[in-house]
């Protein structure tokens, strides 16, 4: 029985898709990853998602990679004197144990810097997120139309 429980625990640490909505590895779950359509010639895009830490220790989202962009960084967005400012998050974004962080428009997000081509609605953009402890977790950002404010979430209705 002890070996069966160990095997189950090890199997849950392998990256597995969650109904095409995200991925999970080493206690970190990525839920509802999405992006917005970009215009022709637009060099940067953004990725949004919920990052949930089911583990007993904090982790940090440090950045990532994507074949669709030259660089993938974690950024924050703030308003200063009526001016929107986006800056890299130095040292990575803390994901607390037993908690989570929402990456959403107007806050923390993933920056896709140096896009190789525009992101059209309906496309899937592969991104491998890099965590300090969990390592790499690959997700597919579903590209939504320019005005989208959140992910398209299926609730099992057809």
* Predicted pLDDT at 155: 57
Kindly state the tokens that stand for 125. 């953009």
* Predicted pLDDT at 83: 87
* Predicted pLDDT at 85: 85
* Predicted pLDDT at 7: 37
* Predicted pLDDT at 21: 57
| Residue indicated by tokens 């080493």 | 26
* Predicted pLDDT at 152: 79
CB 109 within 8 A of CB 77: yes
Q: Which fold has domain 28-143?
A: Immunoglobulin-like (2.60.40)
CB 74 within 8 A of CB 110: yes
Q: Average pLDDT for consecutive 10-residue bins of the chain (158 residues)?
A: 38 38 88 96 97 97 98 92 89 97 96 97 98 97 93 62
CB 125 within 8 A of CB 119: yes
Domain ranges of the chain: 28-143
- Read off the pTM: 0.82
């Amino acid at each position: 029985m002890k070996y069966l429980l160990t095997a189950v625990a090890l199997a849950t640490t392998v990256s597995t898709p969650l109904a095409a909505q995200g991925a999970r590895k080493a206690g970190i779950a990525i839920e509802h990853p999405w992006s917005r359509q970009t215009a022709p010639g637009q060099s940067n895009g953004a990725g949004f998602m919920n990052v949930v830490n089911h583990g007993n220790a904090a982790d940090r989202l440090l950045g990532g990679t994507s074949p669709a962009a030259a660089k993938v960084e974690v950024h924050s967005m703030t308003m200063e004197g009526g001016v929107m400012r986006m800056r890299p998050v130095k040292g990575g974004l803390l994901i607390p144990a037993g908690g989570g962080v929402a990456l959403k428009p107007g806050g923390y997000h993933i920056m896709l810097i140096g896009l190789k081509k525009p992101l059209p609605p309906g496309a899937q953009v592969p991104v491998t997120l890099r965590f300090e402890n969990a390592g790499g977790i690959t997700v597919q950002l579903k590209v939504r139309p320019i005005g989208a404010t959140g992910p398209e979430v299926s609730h099992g209705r057809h």
